[in-house]
Structure 1
Amino acid sequence: MNVFAGLALFVLTVALMEVFAYVAHRWVMHGWGWGLHKSHHEPRDGAFEKNDWYAVIFAGPAIALIAGGVYGGMPALVWIGAGITMYGAIYAGFHDIIVHRRIRHSWNPRSRYLKRIIQAHRLHHAVESKHGTVSFGFLWAPPVRELLAELESRGEGKIRAASKVRREMDPGAHVPG
């Protein structure tokens, strides 16, 4: 396999991982896999949470693909496994470090894109249960105003200090109370 085809497969895999992550987050983590993911929606005690097992689980296919590609003489599998691994690295850097600050830092993103993704993820955490939340992707999110409208229209789940969340996410909005 030539390098350009490999790189194209790598980039395609990273992009498709966002679709996979959305589906897994919405229907597995907020569905039958809530037992592990719930820890991510609660205050963490210590460096790790049960939700971190998802990183271990999702690393398995990447490792298997890379090994299968290397030892099975199928280079395409290496590129796919590397794409999955890259998505995991992007996720860890963005979600765990930038958004949740699991490693202390003082950097505050200034780009509109990063601010929107961070706000979308905060809105995802505004609901205290597995039902009624919004924004399940990690690298793409609808505009914050759309997410706010969706969150308010659903009326599902217990919303954490809804007026506070609304003011933080949309300072120009009028929120009673």
Structure 2
Amino acid sequence: RAAAARRVAEKETRKRSERRTYLVAAVMSSLGVTSMAVAAVYYRFSWQMEGGEVPVIETLGTFALSVGAAVGMEFWARWAHRALWHASLWHMHESHHRPREGPFELNDVFAIVNAAPAISLLAYGFFHRGIVPGLCFGAGLGITLFGMAYMFVHDGLVHRRFPVGPIADVPYFRRVAASHKIHHMDKFGGVPYGLFLGPKELEEVGGLDELVSSPVSEATDTEDAGEEKTRPVVCVVRTSVFMGQSVPNEF
């Protein structure tokens, strides 16, 4: 019994250390990307208005592409998740569907891959003037915003790789988290493959009732996949994350 308790304590200590390591990496990358994006937006629009005339068309184009790219990334991620990650790139994505060993997984490479075009578009739009550079700048900004939101909801809220505070209390994000759990349970052939529109995908395949009334795993961390326990519930399970602790609640 003492040996078993010691193993449990060692595992909890290791998990806390891994989450702390990932949290440091996430915070550093988030602060770096956010600060650069904010500075780029500020200086770019400052340069645009140096002559006293606001380039309305270019500004509207930048804003429109920011919103469009952020929304479009959800559909790109859905397609790539189904057609690439669960197909030819499964050898990399499989690490996300298996118990995690260490603070990182091979699947994290996809975040770096998606960051490359965003940085390229932002850089081109920052160092050039005109409508086309403005559109490129907006697209890069939209991709960046989507990536940040994806990290907090997917990595933080769903898989508990770091605490997300009040984000865990947003009702729609709780539905998104529950939908993504169903993807990992593979009840509808992997659907939903998207994240933020996951509940809509489930509705399209007739799985909305499953989101509301099916047994939902209490564990959301892939590392705990081998120790999951399910229980019937009459509503979706909420995972509240506070100071690194995950507290399942019903709502």
Native 8 Å contact 1:13 1:80 kept in 2? yes
Any idea what the Cα deviations from partners look like across 1:104-136, whole Å, max 9, x if unmatched?
4665734431221111100011139xx921101
Quote the residue 1:133 is aligned against: 190
**What's the % identity of the aligned pairs?**
34
Quote the residue 1:17 is aligned against: 73
CA distance in 1, matches of 2:116, 2:167: 33
Unaligned runs of 5+ residues in structure 1 are 153-159, 172-177
Any idea what the Cα deviations from partners look like across 1:124-169, whole Å, max 9, x if unmatched?
11139xx9211011111236673367899xxxxxxx99x937x358
Unaligned runs of 5+ residues in structure 2 are 1-56, 215-225, 237-251
Which structure has the greater CA radius of gyration?
A: 2
RMSD of the TM alignment (CA)? 3.2
Quote the residue 1:174 is aligned against: none
CA 1:105–1:5 in 2, change beyond 3 Å: closer, same or farther? Answer: closer
Native 8 Å contact 1:124 1:136 kept in 2? yes
Local SS of the residue matching 1:46 = coil
CA distance in 1, matches of 2:127, 2:89: 33
Aligned pairs (5 A) from 1:1-177: 1-73=57-129, 74-104=133-163, 109-127=168-186, 132-142=189-199, 146-147=206-207, 164=230, 167=232
CA 1:105–1:12 in 2, change beyond 3 Å: closer, same or farther? Answer: closer
CA distance in 2, matches of 1:110, 1:67: 36
Higher strand proportion: 2
Query: TM-score under structure 1 normalisation?
Result: 0.77
Query: TM-score under structure 2 normalisation?
Result: 0.56
By relative contact order (CA 8 Å, sep 6+), the higher-ranking structure is 1
CA distance in 1, matches of 2:234, 2:189: 18
With 29-38 and 137-146 compared, the bigger mean Cα shift is at 137-146
With 63-72 and 37-46 compared, the bigger mean Cα shift is at 63-72
CA 1:147–1:8 in 2, change beyond 3 Å: closer, same or farther? Answer: same
